[in-house]
Structure 1
C-alpha cells in the first residue's frame, strides 16, 4: 500500500484551486482593510460627539460659575456670613486656575459642601484656568472670541460685586444704609444688564458650536455608512469564492470532508468490514483510493488472525503481575507464572498436570464450583471472591477471574485464570466498616449504625406487635472530670461505662455511643402490653443505675459517677427514628431536673417543657443583643434610714411576657452559658451608673453592689473585666461591691482566694451573699478576705416568730463584729423586723421595707423629695407589693 496515488490526486486537484485561493486571499485582505477603515470612521463619529459634549460642558461651566458668584455675593449681603465670601473667592480661584478643580465640577458650588463646611476634594493637583481649557478644546477663533467676550463681561461684573462686598464689610450692624446700597448694586437694572451681557455671548457660542459639531458628526456618519456597504459587498464576494473552493474540494475528495474523515477514522480503528462506496466519475478521487486501501487492510487482517490464536494464550498468561494459571479443556494445569507460586506456595513442578482443586479450602461446596463452570460455558468468563488454602495450610481470600479460550469452531480449548490475594484489602474494608459504624473509643455502635438498627426495630413493629424501648443516658458531672483530670481520664471512664452498659443488656439489644458522654440503649422485642414493656425497661434502667454507680478505678484514683436516663417506648411503625431519639432526650432532661441519678419516661408534657426551654433560650440570646435587659436598684440603708448604696438587680423586659425577674431566666442562663454575657453587661452597666453618681455630690458616697455568678467569677480574665469596667466608667473601685455566694467559693478554694486577693488589691469590696445557707461557713470564713456578710432573708423573715432564726441571726451579727466585717440584713419587710435587728446590733439593712428594686430614674425622683421616716417608706413599698 503506497501513498503516491493519493499525492498525485491531491496535486491535480490543487492546480484547479490555485486561482480561487489567490482571489480569496485578495478579497480577505481587502475585507480586513475595509473593516479597519470602518472602525476608524466609527471612532471619528465618537470623537465628534465627544467634542460636542466637551464644548457644552465648558460653556455651561462658564455660565454656572457666573451664577454661583452671583448667588454667593447676594447670600453674603443678605446674611453677612463670611463663609459666602470664602466660597466666592474659591469659585474665582478655580475659574482662574489658582486652585485645583474639584471632582464632578458640574453642579452649583455649594452643593459640594457637607454639614461640616469642608470644601470639595480636588480631582488632581492640576491648576488650569477655564479659558485655557477652552483654548485646548479645539474651538474655532470665532467661538473663542465669543467665550472671551463673556469672560470679560463676567470679570467686569465681578468688580461690581467686590464693591458691594466692601460696602458690607465697612458697615457695622447699625449701618443699614450701606447694606441697602450694596443690595441695590446686586439687584438693580444695571446689574441685570451686565448679567445678560455675559449670557448672550455664551448663547451665540452654543449656536456656532452646535452647527459645527453637528456637521462633523453627520460627515463622519456618512463616511462610516459608505464603508459599511463596501464591507458587506466584499464579504459576499469572499463567501462566493469559498463556495467555489468547497465544490472543487468535494470533487477531489469524492465526497464530503465528513464522509472522508469518517472512513479514515473507521479504518484507523481497524474496522474493515463495510465497503467504501465510490460514485460514478470519481474513480480518481481520494474516496476511490480509500476503497482500495480498505481491501488491502482487510487482507492483512485475515493473515494476522491466523497467528492470533497462538499469541493469545501467552499474552493472557504473562502480561500481568497477578497469579496466573492455564488449564486445558479437561481442567488440568498446564502452566502457571511466578506470581502463582508466591501466592499459593506451590512451585510449577508441583502443580503441572494436576486439577486446581488441590487449592480448595473446603469452604465452598460442589454446587458453587458447578455454577462457575456453567457460567463459563454460557458467558465465557467468571469472576468473584473465593477462599483457597495455602501450601502451609492457612486459608486466605482471593479475587479470581476465569476466561475461556475457544478455537474457530467455538469449542473450549483452555481456561485462563488470574487471581490476587485480597487479605489486606479485606482487612482494610473491615477497618473502614468499623470506622463508619462503630465508635473508635468504646467500640460501640455509633449514631449511624444506631439509627439503622432503630429503623429496623421500628419497621419490625409492622410484623410483630411487641414493644421496643429507647434509653437515652447522659453521665452526671462528666464535664467536671474532663476539666479537672483531663480528657485522657475522661476517656478511661467512657470505656468503663461502655463495658458496664453492655453487661447490663441482652446480646440482641444494642448499646451505642452518640458522642461525648451520651449513650443509647435499644431494647427490642419487649412484651406486647405497654405496662409490661415499661416494667421491663424500668428493670433495665435500674440495673444500669446500680452498675454505673459503683466506683471507677481510673489512672488518677477512684471516681464516682452517676447517670440520668430518659426512656421512651415505641410500638407505632410510622414513628420516625429522629422523633424517638428526641423524645428520649427530653425524658433524660426531665431526669436531670429531677435530681439526677434517676430515670424518667417520656410524656407530652416533657416535650412541651423542652420546646418552651428552647424558645426561652433563643429569646434570651436575642435579649442581650436587642437591649432588652434592664437594671433595677434596691436601696441599702443604715440604722438611721440614710442611704448607703444600691444593689443592682437584672430584669428582662420580655417583648411579650413583660418584665421578668431573675428567677425566670437566670437558671437557664447558667445552664447554657449565656450568664457570661449577662454578667459582663450587668457589671459594665452598674459601673457606668457608679461613675455617673460621682458627678453629683448627693450620690457621690453611694456604693454599688453587683451579684457575680460562679461561671463568671472563675473566668480567667474576670479581674481584668472588673478593672476595665471601673476604669472606663470613671468610678471609684472602693465603692464597687461584688457579692459572692459561699457555694461559689467552695468550688475551688485556692483559685477563689487568689482571685479575691486580686480584687481586694484593686480596692473592690467583697461581700458574702446568702450567708448561713451553706454547709461549712464558719470553718472557712476566716480564710476568705470578705469585707461584708449578708444575712440571708430566709432567717430575717422568721426572727419574729421563730426563735431558732432569731438565734442564728444574732450569732451571725456577733460573728461579723468579732471578725471585723460589716453585716447587712437583707429581706427586711416590717418595722418589727427592723427593730429586732437593731436590738441585735445590726447596722445595715436592705429589703422591701425601704423600697422595692426600681429603675434608676425612680431613685433620682425619690432623692429629690424630703426624706421621710422608714415607716412611711414601708407603707408605700407594702402597697406596691
Structure 2
C-alpha cells in the first residue's frame, strides 16, 4: 500500500462488501483503493494499479471515459449512472457494463467511487421473479421488517412491525434507527455495534430490547442486513425482526427464581457474586458485611416451625430497615451479606438496633446473637472469593471470642489471607510446571555415627510470592485437595533419588510425609507400588511418615489399615511422626504397622531447659523401645542434646546439629566424610 493510500481514511472492507467490482480514485485518475472483486474480474493486480504515475485504469480499463466525464462526476453531488460503456481487461478483452459513480470528500481531498454494474452480478427478474415475490411475501408474513437508508433513517416498514411497535407509518417513517431502542448506555453500545457492522457490509444477529411508541419494552431476535436499492442506486439496510417478548419474560422469571431467596425476597449467593463482580470491575468502594445468626439450630429446636420462619422474616425486615438503600443477600439458612458504603461504626450499631427492636416468639423475646465480619473493597480483599473467605475467617474469630460482635480483621491478617489466596492460585501452576523441588535432611544412627536415612522435604520458591515454607504450603495443599498432587510428586522424586544413591553405592532409606487424605483414596497402595515399579526403586528404601491424627483415623478406617499392611508386606516402613503432640493412643500403636517412633522437635528444643521434658522424652524413648520400635528424635541442634538423647537410648537423631535440609549432591558429600 502506498503512502498516499495510507493517508486516506477509507475502510477497504466496505469497498469489498459492495455487490459489484469497485475502486476509489482521485481527480487525477490515480487509483487509491482497488477492490478484490475488481482485481479478479479485470485481471489487474493491486501492485500494478496502486502508486504508479501512469495508471493502467485510465489508460486501458476506462480509456473510453473522457476527462470531461470525470469532471462531471466529480462535480455531481448525487450518483452518476452511465449505461453500456466498454471497459478493457488486462488481457485487452472488451466487456460491456454500466458504471455507477459517486464523488465524496475524505481528508479535504475529492475522491470518486466507481462501481462496475456487470450483467452477471445482476438478478434476472424474468427468471426468478416468482421466487423473489414468494420470498418477499414469506418475509413480510413471518417477520417484522424495517428498511433504513444509508444514513439510518426509516424509509419503509411492514404491518407486523407496526402492530408490535404500536407506530403508525406517518409517525415512524423518517425516524432514525436509534429511536427504536431504549435510551441507555447498554442499548447504545449494541446499536452502535449493529450500525458499524452494517456500514462494513456485515450482517448482525442477536437478541435485543426495543421500545414501542408508548415507551413499553419488547424483545426481538434481530437480523440486520446490508442491501442495495437499484432503483435509487443507494445503499440501504434491512432489519428482520422476530418478536420473542414472551420467551424473554419467561426467561426473566426463571432467572428471578434462580437468583432470589423465596423465603425472604433477598437475592441469593449466585446473584450476589454477579453484582459484586460487576462492582469490582467498576472499581466501586464498598464494605462487604457478613452476618451470621449464632446458635441458629438451637433456636430452631426451641421453636415450632411457624416461629422459625417468623424469626428469619423478622430478622430480614430489621436488616432492611437498618441498612436502607444497601444491597442484601441470603447466603444460606442463617447467613446474610450486606453490601454498603456505610461506615464501620454504623454497621456495628446494628447489634444495638436488634436489642432495641427485639424479635418475639409469642410474648417472649428471642435471645438472638449475631457474629459479623466487615471486609472492605479494595482495601482488604480484591475478589468475591477472597471477600467470602475473609468473612468466614472473621466469623470464626468472632465465635471463638464468644460471638455477638461485628468486627473487621487487622491489615496483617488480611495480608496473610491474601498471601494464602495467592498461594492457592499459584500452587496448581507450580505443580504443572514442576516448580517444586525436593531437599533432603539426613538422619544419623547414634551407635555408628553414620547417615542411614534422609527425610524428603518439599520446597517451593515462586517467582511471584517468593519462598513458601512447608508450614504455609501443606495446610493450603490439604484444604485445596492438592496435597495428593504434591504427595505423588514427592513420592516419585524420592524413589528416583533413592535408586540413584543405591546405584552409587549408598544404601539410604528415604522418608516421605503422607497425609491421611491421600490414604482415603482406596487406590493409594496401588499408586505407591506402581511408582516403585515405574522408577525401579526397591520397596525397602522407602519410608512413609504419618502423624498421630492420621493414625487415629486409620485405626477407625479398616480400608486404610489394609492399605498400610499391603505396603508393609512389600517392605515399606511406616514412621509415626511428631509423636507426643497429637492424639495420644496406645491402641493404634498396637493395631497399625508402625516400625519407627519419631519424637517431635518441640520436646527436643526444651530438652536442656526442663527436667520435666527430660523425663518425658526418656519415657517416650523407653515406651518405643519396649514396643520394639526404632526411636528417632528430630530437631536436634546441639551436641549436648545429642549426647543426652544417646544416653536415653535414642536410636537416631535428625536436626541442624547434623545438617539442614540440603540437595542430593550435598548429601553425598556428607556421606563421604
Deviation (angstroms), 1:688: 0.7
Structure 2 residue runs of 5 or longer lacking an equivalent are 1-88, 98-123, 138-213, 217-246, 281-285, 298-305, 321-326, 362-368
1:650 paired residue among 458, 462, 481: 458
Deviation (angstroms), 1:778: 2.8
C-alpha contact (below 8 Å) 1:583/1:607 kept by paired residues: no
* Aligned counterpart, 1:717: 523
Distance in 2, matches of 1:618 and 1:523, equals 26
1:483-522 to structure 2, matched below 5 A, reads 502=313, 504-507=315-318, 509=320, 512-514=329-331, 519-522=335-338
Distance in 1, matches of 2:398 and 2:563, equals 31
C-alpha contact (below 8 Å) 1:712/1:718 kept by paired residues: yes
Q: Deviations along 1:466-518, whole A, 9 cap, x unmatched?
A: x9973266999x9xxxxxxxxxxxxxxxx999986556443553873458x99
* Aligned counterpart, 2:394: 591
* Aligned counterpart, 1:40: none
Aligned-partner SS, 2:608: coil
Question: Is residue 754 from structure 1 mapped to residue 568 from structure 2 by the alignment?
Answer: no
Q: Deviations along 1:345-382, whole A, 9 cap, x unmatched?
A: xxxxxxxxxxxxxxxxxxxxxxxxxxxxxxxxxxxxx9
* Aligned counterpart, 2:192: none
Distance in 2, matches of 1:505 and 1:579, equals 27
Superposition CA RMSD, Å: 5.2
Aligned-partner SS, 2:633: strand
C-alpha contact (below 8 Å) 1:771/1:790 kept by paired residues: yes
Distance in 2, matches of 1:229 and 1:778, equals 100
Deviation (angstroms), 1:840: 1.6
- Which one has a bigger Cα radius of gyration? 1
Question: Is residue 625 from structure 1 mapped to residue 452 from structure 2 by the alignment?
Answer: no
* Aligned counterpart, 1:739: 545
* Aligned counterpart, 1:438: 260
* Aligned counterpart, 1:769: 577
Bigger share in helix: 1
Question: Is residue 637 from structure 1 mapped to residue 451 from structure 2 by the alignment?
Answer: no
2:289 paired residue among 450, 461, 470: 470
* Aligned counterpart, 2:419: 612
Aligned-partner SS, 1:754: helix
Q: Deviations along 1:244-276, whole A, 9 cap, x unmatched?
A: xxxxxxxxxxxx999xx99xx9xx99xxxxxxx
Task: Count how many residue pairs are aligned between Structure 1 and Structure 2.
Answer: 406
Aligned-partner SS, 1:799: coil
Deviation (angstroms), 1:767: 0.7
Bigger share in strand: 2
* Aligned counterpart, 1:177: none
Q: Deviations along 1:300-345, whole A, 9 cap, x unmatched?
A: xxxxxxxxxxxxxxxxxxxxxxxxxxxxxxxxxxxxxxxxxxxxxx
Distance in 1, matches of 2:472 and 2:287, equals 37
Aligned-partner SS, 2:644: helix
C-alpha contact (below 8 Å) 1:454/1:522 kept by paired residues: no
C-alpha contact (below 8 Å) 2:522/2:560 kept by paired residues: no
Aligned-partner SS, 1:694: helix
Aligned CA distance change for structure 1 residues 586 and 756 (closer, same or farther; 3 Å):
closer
Distance in 2, matches of 1:840 and 1:569, equals 56
Aligned-partner SS, 1:763: coil
Distance in 2, matches of 1:636 and 1:453, equals 56
Q: Deviations along 1:404-429, whole A, 9 cap, x unmatched?
A: xxxxxxxxxxxxxxxxxxxxx9x989
Deviation (angstroms), 1:663: 2.3
Question: Is residue 785 from structure 1 mapped to residue 593 from structure 2 by the alignment?
Answer: yes
C-alpha contact (below 8 Å) 1:726/1:733 kept by paired residues: yes
Deviation (angstroms), 1:795: 1.0
Aligned-partner SS, 2:317: coil
Deviation (angstroms), 1:590: 3.7
Aligned CA distance change for structure 1 residues 564 and 650 (closer, same or farther; 3 Å):
farther
Distance in 1, matches of 2:397 and 2:472, equals 18
C-alpha contact (below 8 Å) 1:470/1:584 kept by paired residues: no
* Aligned counterpart, 1:854: 662
* Aligned counterpart, 2:373: 566
Aligned CA distance change for structure 1 residues 591 and 799 (closer, same or farther; 3 Å):
same
Aligned CA distance change for structure 1 residues 563 and 615 (closer, same or farther; 3 Å):
farther
Deviation (angstroms), 1:802: 0.9
Bigger Cα displacement from structure 2, 578-587 vs 812-821: 578-587
* Aligned counterpart, 1:796: 604
Instruction: Give the TM-score, by structure 1 length.
Output: 0.39
Deviation (angstroms), 1:757: 2.0
Distance in 2, matches of 1:630 and 1:645, equals 19
Aligned CA distance change for structure 1 residues 499 and 651 (closer, same or farther; 3 Å):
farther
Deviation (angstroms), 1:809: 1.0
Distance in 2, matches of 1:450 and 1:858, equals 54
